[in-house]
């Protein structure tokens, strides 16, 4: 048994961390928070130059053909740095969708561009304040035209194309839509985390290129989300770790009543709990990474486990990091809220904790029925 | 046991209602309250309207009901004040602007100022003409207030004050403030403090707003550069500043308290409105379970307050209920805000209520609640207070007692 | 407003507390725990002599005709003392059922005997490991005969009669059955709290006297449980208070590392949380008491609120009381587990937290629909 | 990253399986494990069978795999030991009896005993012939072990020991024990301690069982009345007892750990079996939510252990994972036990599984779990350990250092 990343993978991780330390100190997300840029273009360029956007893309499509464990290493560091870039939308969602369901032609058309960062892709599912289901998708795909409205679409204001979930006569389907083309209106919307831009995207007969089998879009979306869940979870884990490090550092240096606040059990035990949640999340996330890399049948369960534990850990760490900092912690000028905002955003982008818990138990029930059946047979 | 007024009480309540119907700006819309991000946009108007309303109340004998007439009060009872507050809460009137002045500064002046000063300052405070603020916390002294550093040095009949205060609500529209300073850093930390009231327009006082996570600016930093304060404005003896501050904070514990919306009412309404799967979210057992937890907490706080009111009406002094209200209420609001956002799945991230009409309140609460858990006594400090003052458990081991202030370790600060 | 008990009620409470201090120190429940007695007979006699069994019974039926606030005062003290007596079954359930639905004749027949402690009554609902519903009652009432099995029945081994929930051709009904009469077999069963006896009761054509309207038994049971919930909640509150007092006392006297363990924030804050939960429960319980006494329409909601908050408070207090005591706390010889066991028993006797939460929200939904309707009208 | 054995490992695993198939008492029933209340009924037999099994293992080279041959081990690797344990866990064999001896007493002897003693005592310990126990905690010294009071007084070549130990597992069937005592109450508490091994049959040693809430008796009190221990049985220098104890406790942290059933598997099975309303409990969203929480915790612990194994296989020393496992596992089992009982409504109170076949396990866990949260390091102590040793946060303020032991405040005791 070797339940750990390889030395090479760890080196890549260190490389990513060192790069982000210098290229993405918290002043960078803060710049996006306070300014009008949708994302940090120079940081995005740096990430592209390091070929992180091509890690999971095979060489024949212009990628560097590493595995998912490598991508997980990078994801964890991007999360730690609260990086304000469209990496997750373009890599975890758009690239993965095309890798999973794209025709040879589509792969040739999009993957090299995605790898080279010449195209930014995203995934458009949500239609406002409702839980998306296979049945309630109001966006339509008819005769190669997409009509409807998606809200919010992550990076929808900056992406070049989106993979849109739309209902066709055959059922839910995925369509690739050029967001710069005709029949598309989009406007940025304010979210809980201004360091990651989102948009309301309106489609009025926008040309949509079918991705995967028509009518099988929902199953496809599910498997794309399972895979993406692991990668988002790695980002959540990185952010959660960053909160713990901040809290520990502050608790050692900040004095009250003549002693470091870290010597008070109210703080010590809070941070011990933070550490424990992070370690449990880490174990679940690594398991998800293993399942993703090895294409194991455990993936749906492992992905849900990673997603749930990382969401819970980051929620706890980001809110109690503020609490540990006291007054300064809830000021706009302090960095605590960058993590608190990102934590909430990441917990929602693939659907809420509630949905993922339900999803986990559903898979576990299937497993149990399966093993019961096979036992009976 | 009953929730009814005594005959006198109900007569008074009736009288209050009649007056409010005639003079207040109409009833509040019922149903879940709408969240107010409280940016400083339009704040000046708000303060003006608050002053007018306070003056009107005062003329009608509803200003500061429980204060003696000679200090601008109505010479009424504690219970009448409570009844008035209950009734006023149902109307659309500007509130909150005078809480610190009337709740903390007034009482401390009554205890420590000389008669002349009281007759000079309290009536204009009661009438809302002069707003007061409280200058206590410092960057280095939050939970550990007595660790404050702001220096007051004697200079003839005056004191020269230098330093910085923080988390001062309303400093930017306050006419006066109460201030605790350190006059001798070589004495033990609790012994070297001296307390004053001052004119916020004094030369050398500079006020800067603090922006919170939520985007709101409810607080200020206040900088003191060679600010002159006459010794006649000292409250309590030289070196008695800690006792004076404690009396003030006791009043704060009562002033602080009930955390606003969103609370059970709002999350209950949301779960009936939004769908989870094929049915309203409230039909999910998971949602019902959380709702029930919040309901009994919210009811527990409402009814604990009712028990306090009962004690007040008997002239007893209330206990630590206010601490409980803030401690439980702050965490509750953070959970409710987070949960409310989760119910909308991806759309839960949207903050802008123009984009998603009827939403945004829970997201705002998610951003505002961390402040509630810290301001006016952090969760941790409140637990200490309950453990030590209510349960009489021993205090933390202190390493900062009986040591000259300037020899107490401060780390990086 | 006067949200407090009257001086007379407080005096009754003090009287009850003083009586139980001397008549029911923890050595008494411990005797029942370790021995073979089903309950403390001498204590029961003392309680009867004080006429606590007749508090809610009108004078014309041999009671003393006090109100429910008085009964609440006694309940809180019985809970504090972990009293090992059939008071709750006989008073909160049997007596209340007959007061609520009994014919004049039945009242005359049973109430004076219940008041005088000459009869012990109980209520038989559960039929083993399932959530009881109006539809799944397998015990039958046909031609005045009861057939079926109830498990567990509180005090079923010592009670003289039971009010049995049974299905007749008209639907769920309540029947009074003489447990000493023909067609009844009963055996004590071990529960999580041996200080309160329980039984499996088997009915084979036992004579059953209808209580209330045939077919309306479930509605009746619901309203009886609403009322009983407040009284059980008061017992839970008393027990929860006792745990806090024990913990605080121990934390002050027990030293570790040269200081009282109560000076460590891990303990201080635990006990502060215990106090807070108890205070919130107290407020909810008093409200329930008010609703019970005044017959307010808020009773179902107030009762559920009292039940839920008191259950949660006692659960927390009884388990963290053990934790505060450390090693000695989980020994059989120490009193901590008396409260830990009673806490669990009381949380189940009227149905679980889960059921009461569902019940609370159902009532709140009805209220909301009601007020919406009236607003529309 | 993979969960597969190396080729050597899988060969070894195969070899182990073949031997176990031939020699162990068959595989355990799969599916949710059945809770064992562990009363002392039939314990003697159990211990006998355990001894026989240990001897058999030892003869086959599976006794204490990682110990050197000269001390009765098999001279194998850490990883082989782990593989063997994983495999053996699948079989019905008597376990647990030797954990303290092999996990704590053996290692401390190896570090501190002289060669002759090691060659005399370790082989019989390894073979299971002699069972060892650990005599550390005292009524006055639990979390604060160094506060122990048991006196050892020098008398020629012997020491005379008087005092009481508590929470000693297996003392009643142990042949030997390791013991920490105080030889000088006038020295600082950590400095006046001295460590021994002793024959439990020595005159003056009296063992009494302790009954737990659950009814089980996993522990004993051990009383010492003028017990003579030759100085030759001292481990470490006089006054070095604390360091020796710490080394032993470090090993305990590894020995302690995984909390048994009921865990996720069992509660998951229960919720599929029992009804809530008209459908299986597992269909309730409230139940699903709790199940998901427990699943990710249980998986988190299982996989954290896998990470530890990976480090062990590289010869690295593991971190505080065991503390996490007990801390998380104890609370989890208490919640699961309570929740499992709740699912049966009124019938959840029934403890007797003859009355309700297939139930009782969760009720037993409800009663047993409080002990898990305290024994072998309370939740609070474990959080301190994680905070101080893993996160390097400052220790608590100490008032009991550099003070003569007999002048440290002890309150009532």
| pLDDT confidence of residue C365 | 97
Buried b / exposed e across B130-163, counting CB within 10 Å, b at 16+?
Answer: bbbbbbbbbbbbbbbbbbbbbbbeeeeebbbbbb
Of the two residues A372 and C49, the one the predictor is more confident about is C49
**Are residues A83 and A29 in contact, defined by beta-carbon separation less than 8 angstroms?**
yes
Treating both helix axes as pointing N-terminal to C-terminal, what angle do B264-273 and C353-376 enclose, rounded to 10 degrees? 80
Plot region of C39 (φ>0 → left; ψ -120 to 50 → alpha; else → beta): beta
Answer yes or no: pTM beyond 0.80: yes
Lowest mean pLDDT among B79-93, C57-71, C139-153, D193-207: B79-93
Query: Does the pLDDT at position D195 exceed 50?
Result: yes
Q: pLDDT (tens digit, 9 = 90+) per residue, D351-367?
A: 988 888 878 999 999 99
Residues of C in contact with B327 (CB under 8 A): 276
Confidence at D255, pLDDT banded by 50, 70, 90:
low
| pLDDT confidence of residue C374 | 78
Q: Which residue in the set D351, D367, D411 is minimally distant from C254, CB to CB?
A: D411
**Are residues C336 and C325 in contact, defined by beta-carbon separation less than 8 angstroms?**
yes
Mean pLDDT of D49-68: 95
| pLDDT confidence of residue C73 | 98
Task: Name the closest residue on chain B to residue C368, using Cα atoms.
Answer: B269
Q: Which residues face B235 on adjacent strands?
A: B195
Query: If we measure between CA atoms, which residue out of C343, C356, C91 comes closest to residue C237?
Result: C343
Treating both helix axes as pointing N-terminal to C-terminal, what angle do C217-253 and C336-349 enclose, rounded to 10 degrees? 160
d(CA B296, CA C281): 8
Tell the residue number behind the tokens 């190396």, with chain if given. Answer: D6
User: E strands along B170-204, which residues?
Assistant: 176-182, 193-199
| pLDDT confidence of residue B413 | 45
d(CA D16, CA D13): 5
Buried b / exposed e across C119-143, counting CB within 10 Å, b at 16+?
Answer: bbbbbbbbbbbbbbeeeebebbbee
Mean pLDDT of D389-402: 93
Instruction: Say whether residue C286 is in contact with chain B using an 8 A CB cutoff.
Output: yes
d(CA B79, CA B84): 9
Residues of A in contact with D282 (CB under 8 A): 361, 365
Under DSSP, is residue D207 helix (H, G, I), strand (E, B) or coil? strand
Of the two residues D377 and A200, the one the predictor is more confident about is A200
Q: pLDDT (tens digit, 9 = 90+) per residue, A240-296?
A: 999 999 999 999 999 999 999 999 999 999 999 999 999 999 999 999 999 999 999
Query: Does the pLDDT at position D239 exceed 60?
Result: yes
The secondary structure element, H or E, covering residue A133 is none
For chain A, give the mean pLDDT.
97
Query: Does the pLDDT at position D115 exceed 50?
Result: yes
Q: Which residue in the set C269, C308, C312 is minimally distant from B383, CB to CB?
A: C269
Of the two residues C17 and D79, the one the predictor is more confident about is C17
Contacts (Cβ under 8 Å, ≥6 apart) of C298: C287, C291
Query: If we measure between CA atoms, which residue out of D345, D183, D340, D210 comes closest to residue D266?
Result: D340
Q: pLDDT (tens digit, 9 = 90+) per residue, C354-377?
A: 999 999 999 999 999 988 887 776
Give me the residues of C, 252-281, that contact B with CB < 8 A: 252, 259-260, 262-263, 265, 267-269, 271-273, 275-276, 279-281
Query: Two tokens at B42?
Result: 């339009």
Query: Does the pLDDT at position B66 exceed 80?
Result: yes
| pLDDT confidence of residue B315 | 80
For chain D, give the mean pLDDT.
92
| pLDDT confidence of residue B42 | 80
| pLDDT confidence of residue B311 | 87
Mean pLDDT of A45-73: 97
Residues of A in contact with C264 (CB under 8 A): 265
Give me the residues of B, 123-182, that contact D with CB < 8 A: none
Mean pLDDT of D283-289: 97
**Are residues B339 and B331 in contact, defined by beta-carbon separation less than 8 angstroms?**
no
**Are residues C210 and C97 in contact, defined by beta-carbon separation less than 8 angstroms?**
no
**Are residues A244 and A271 in contact, defined by beta-carbon separation less than 8 angstroms?**
yes
Under DSSP, is residue B163 helix (H, G, I), strand (E, B) or coil? strand
Contacts (Cβ under 8 Å, ≥6 apart) of A212: A100, A101, A102, A173, A174, A220
Contact C269 A266 (CB under 8 A): yes
Instruction: Say whether residue A287 is in contact with chain D using an 8 A CB cutoff.
Output: yes
d(CA A108, CA D29): 54
Task: Name the closest residue on chain A to residue D320, using Cα atoms.
Answer: A276
d(CA D278, CA D225): 64
Query: Two tokens at C122?
Result: 């109980």
Contact A360 D5 (CB under 8 A): no
Under DSSP, is residue A373 helix (H, G, I), strand (E, B) or coil? helix
| pLDDT confidence of residue D413 | 45
Query: Does the pLDDT at position B252 exceed 70?
Result: no
Q: Mutate which of C256, C261, C263, C266 to test chain A, going by most A C-beta atoms within 10 A?
A: C266
Query: Does the pLDDT at position D36 exceed 80?
Result: no
Tell the residue number behind the tokens 């006794």, with chain if given. Answer: D63
Residues of C in contact with D399 (CB under 8 A): 257-259
Q: Residue A221, CB half-sphere, CA atoms under 13 Å: how many? A: 26
* pLDDT more than 90, % of chain C: 97
d(CA A43, CA A22): 10
Q: pLDDT (tens digit, 9 = 90+) per residue, C234-261?
A: 999 999 999 999 999 999 999 999 999 9
* pLDDT more than 90, % of chain A: 97
Give me the residues of A, 148-187, that contact D with CB < 8 A: none
Query: If we measure between CA atoms, which residue out of B207, B122, B199 comes closest to residue B171?
Result: B207
Query: Two tokens at D278?
Result: 């008209």
| pLDDT confidence of residue D35 | 40
* pLDDT more than 70, % of chain A: 99
Helices (H) and strands (E) in chain D, counts: 12, 10
For chain B, give the mean pLDDT.
92
d(CA A157, CA B118): 61
Q: Which residues face D220 on adjacent strands?
A: D209
Ordered alpha helix ranges (H), A118-264: 217-253
DSSP C240-303: HHHHHHHHHHHHHH-EETTEEGGGSHHHHHHHHHHHHHHHHHHHHHHHHHHHHHHT-TTHHHHH
Query: Does the pLDDT at position B33 exceed 50?
Result: no
Of the two residues D227 and B411, the one the predictor is more confident about is D227
Instruction: Say whether residue D399 is in contact with chain B using an 8 A CB cutoff.
Output: yes
Query: Does the pLDDT at position D31 exceed 90?
Result: no
Q: Residue A140, CB half-sphere, CA atoms under 13 Å: how many? A: 7
Contact A266 C264 (CB under 8 A): no
Q: pLDDT (tens digit, 9 = 90+) per residue, B142-169?
A: 999 999 999 999 999 999 999 999 999 9
Query: Does the pLDDT at position D412 exceed 70?
Result: no
| pLDDT confidence of residue A106 | 98
Q: pLDDT (tens digit, 9 = 90+) per residue, D61-113?
A: 999 999 999 999 999 998 899 899 989 989 989 888 999 999 999 999 999 99
Query: Does the pLDDT at position D40 exceed 80?
Result: no
For strand D158-166 and strand D205-210, is the pairing parallel, antiparallel, or unpaired?
unpaired
Q: Dihedral of CA B304/B310/B312/B314: which sign? A: negative
**Are residues C305 and B297 in contact, defined by beta-carbon separation less than 8 angstroms?**
no
The secondary structure element, H or E, covering residue A87 is helix A87-87
CA separation, residue A71 to residues A52, A85, C162, D191, D306 (Å):
8, 16, 68, 53, 22
Query: Two tokens at A40?
Result: 């940090």
| pLDDT confidence of residue C221 | 98
Q: Residue C52, CB half-sphere, CA atoms under 13 Å: how many? A: 29
Q: pLDDT (tens digit, 9 = 90+) per residue, A110-154?
A: 999 999 999 999 999 999 988 999 999 999 999 999 999 999 999
Confidence at D312, pLDDT banded by 50, 70, 90:
confident
State the Cα torsion B197-B200-B204-B206 to the nearest 10°. 120
Subunits close to C (at least 3 CB pairs below 8 A): A, B, D
| pLDDT confidence of residue B256 | 53
Q: pLDDT (tens digit, 9 = 90+) per residue, C265-308?
A: 999 999 999 999 999 999 999 999 999 999 999 999 999 999 99
DSSP D362-409: HHHHHHHHHHHTTTTS-HHHHHHHIIIIIS-PPPPP-SSSSSBGGGS-
Query: Does the pLDDT at position D32 exceed 70?
Result: no
Instruction: Say whether residue C347 is in contact with chain B using an 8 A CB cutoff.
Output: no
């Amino acid at each position: 048994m070797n339940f750990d990343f390889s030395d090479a993978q760890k080196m890549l991780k260190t490389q990513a961390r060192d790069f982000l330390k210098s290229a993405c100190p918290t002043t960078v997300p803060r710049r996006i928070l306070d300014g009008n840029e949708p994302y940090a273009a120079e940081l995005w360029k740096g990430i592209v130059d390091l070929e992180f956007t091509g890690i999971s893309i095979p060489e024949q499509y212009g990628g560097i053909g590493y595995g998912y464990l490598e991508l997980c290493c990078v994801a964890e560091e991007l999360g730690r740095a609260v990086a304000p870039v469209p990496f997750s939308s373009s890599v975890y969602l758009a690239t993965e969708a095309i890798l999973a369901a794209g025709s040879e032609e589509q792969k040739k058309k999009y993957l090299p561009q995605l790898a080279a960062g010449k195209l930014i892709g995203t995934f458009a599912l949500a239609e406002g304040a409702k839980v998306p289901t296979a049945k309630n998708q109001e966006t339509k795909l008819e005769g190669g035209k997409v009509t409807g409205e998606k809200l919010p679409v992550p990076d929808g204001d900056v992406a070049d194309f989106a993979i849109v979930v739309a209902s066709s006569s055959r059922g839910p389907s995925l369509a690739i839509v050029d967001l710069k083309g005709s029949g598309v209106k989009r406007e940025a919307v304010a979210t809980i985390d201004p360091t990651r831009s989102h948009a309301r995207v309106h489609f009025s007969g926008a040309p949509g290129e079918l991705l995967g089998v028509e009518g099988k879009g929902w199953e496809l979306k599910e498997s794309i989300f399972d895979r993406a869940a692991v990668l988002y979870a790695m980002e959540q884990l990185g952010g959660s770790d960053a909160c713990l490090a901040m809290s520990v550092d502050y608790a050692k240096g900040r004095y009250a009543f003549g002693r470091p606040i870290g010597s008070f059990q109210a703080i010590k035990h809070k941070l011990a709990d933070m550490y424990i949640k992070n370690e449990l999340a880490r174990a679940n996330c690594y398991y998800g990474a293993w399942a993703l890399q090895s294409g194991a049948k455990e993936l749906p369960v492992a992905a849900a486990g990673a997603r749930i534990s990382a969401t819970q850990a980051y929620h706890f760490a980001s809110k109690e990091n503020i609490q540990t900092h006291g007054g300064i912690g809830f000021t706009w000028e302090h960095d605590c809220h960058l993590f608190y905002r990102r934590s909430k955003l990441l917990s929602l982008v693939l659907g809420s904790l509630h949905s993922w818990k339900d999803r986990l138990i559903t898979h576990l029930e299937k497993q149990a029925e399966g093993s019961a059946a096979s036992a009976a047979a | 046991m009953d929730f009814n007024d005594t005959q006198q009480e109900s007569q008074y309540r009736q009288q209050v209602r009649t007056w409010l119907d005639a003079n207040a700006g109409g009833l509040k819309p019922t149903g879940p309250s709408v969240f107010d991000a409280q940016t400083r946009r339009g704040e000046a108007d708000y303060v003006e309207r608050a002053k007018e309303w306070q003056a009107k109340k005062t003329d009608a004998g509803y200003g500061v009901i429980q204060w003696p007439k000679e200090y601008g009060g109505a010479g009424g009872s504690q219970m009448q004040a409570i009844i008035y507050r209950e009734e006023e809460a149902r109307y659309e009137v500007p509130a909150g602007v005078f809480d610190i002045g009337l709740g903390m500064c007034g009482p401390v002046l009554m205890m420590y100022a000389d008669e002349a000063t009281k007759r000079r300052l309290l009536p204009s405070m009661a009438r809302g003409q002069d707003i007061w603020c409280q200058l206590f916390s410092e960057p280095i002294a939050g939970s550990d207030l007595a660790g404050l550093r702001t220096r007051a040095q004697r200079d003839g009949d005056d004191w020269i004050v230098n330093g910085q205060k923080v988390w001062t609500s309303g400093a930017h529209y306050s006419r006066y403030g109460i201030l605790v300073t350190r006059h001798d850093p070589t004495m033990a930390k609790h012994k070297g403090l001296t307390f004053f009231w001052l004119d916020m327009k004094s030369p050398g006082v500079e006020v800067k707003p603090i922006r919170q996570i939520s985007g709101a600016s409810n607080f200020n930093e206040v900088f003191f550069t060679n600010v002159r304060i006459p010794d006649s404005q000292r409250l309590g003896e030289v070196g008695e500043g800690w006792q004076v501050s404690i009396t003030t904070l006791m009043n704060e514990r009562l002033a602080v308290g009930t955390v606003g919306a969103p609370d059970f009412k709002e999350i209950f309404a949301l779960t009936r409105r939004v769908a989870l799967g094929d049915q309203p979210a409230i039909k999910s057992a998971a949602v019902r379970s959380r709702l029930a937890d919040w309901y009994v907490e919210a009811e527990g706080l409402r009814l604990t307050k009712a028990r306090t009111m009962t004690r007040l009406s008997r002239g007893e002094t209330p206990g630590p209920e206010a601490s409980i209200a803030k401690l439980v209420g702050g965490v509750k609001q953070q959970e409710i805000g987070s949960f409310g956002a989760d119910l909308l799945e991806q759309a839960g991230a949207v903050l802008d209520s123009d984009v998603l009409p009827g939403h945004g309140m829970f997201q705002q609460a998610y951003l505002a609640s961390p402040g509630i858990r810290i301001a006016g006594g952090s969760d941790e400090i409140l637990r200490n207070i309950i453990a030590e003052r209510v349960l009489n458990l021993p205090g933390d081991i202190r390493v900062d007692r009986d040591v000259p202030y300037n020899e107490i370790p401060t780390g990086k600060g």
